[in-house]
Amino acid sequence: MRNHPIIGILGLLIKGIGRRKRGIEGGTVRNVFPKKPTSDIIAFMLAVFPGSFDPPTFGHLNIIERCSRLFDEIDVVISVNPDKKYLFSDEERFSMLKELTSVYGNVSVHICKTLISDYCRKVGAKVLLRGIRNTNDFSYEFDLSLINRSLNQQVETLFVPTEQRYFLIRSSSIKELARYGGDISAMVPPVVEKAIKEKYRAD
């Protein structure tokens, strides 16, 4: 019984605890236990969710809602590419997103006409959020994340899988359906659906 391995291990543990206690009491051991975090060292986490948002969809809002619970603050950034043709203007997309995200106290909407890596540097953000629907999305976004990383070493890209019910939502499909009078109510909020129909009615 004296040579039982469990008893031997317990004996070593008790001896170790005794040495640690004596060291602490004698002042010979420092930083034995980690200090409790203080408000001075808790990092403020700002994440950036960029996209064209042309139009804003339920898929976009789902990513925003989920990530708003993970980060202190989220900047939803409307990326503007002068070489790309949009259905909605920068201001129209801004207005819709502003209304749709008003329920989240830690989400703000911005327009960016520069590289998103430069925007992150300007606001001090270290996390880029990207929604992923499938492997094709991942392949494209992975390459893009490497480019952004090369432009700003402080930025990490976080891939957020799309919920299954939003798997088939694509801006191109929404616009095509709306153009021919299809039902898009399951893909976009009412305010967006109304704006899209007005666009095509005017055309």
Catalytic choice (60, 79, 93, 145): 60
96 burial class (0-12, 13-18, 19+ CB within 10 angstroms)?
buried
Tokens of 193: 């659906």
Distance CA 77, CA 94 (A): 9
Q: Please say if 171 is a catalytic residue.
A: yes
Q: Please say if 84 is a catalytic residue.
A: yes
Catalytic choice (66, 110, 126, 133): 133
DSSP state of 165: G
Catalytic choice (35, 36, 84, 85): 84
Tokens of 90: 């920068």
- Sheet strands (E) in the chain: 46-51, 73-79, 107-112, 127-132, 156-161
Q: Please say if 19 is a catalytic residue.
A: no
Which residue, chain included where needed, has tokens 């004698």? 26
What are the beta bridge partners of residue 54?
A: none
Beta strand 107-112 pairing with 73-79: parallel
What are the beta bridge partners of residue 74?
A: 47, 107
Distance CA 108, CA 76 (A): 6
Catalytic residues: 60, 84, 133, 171
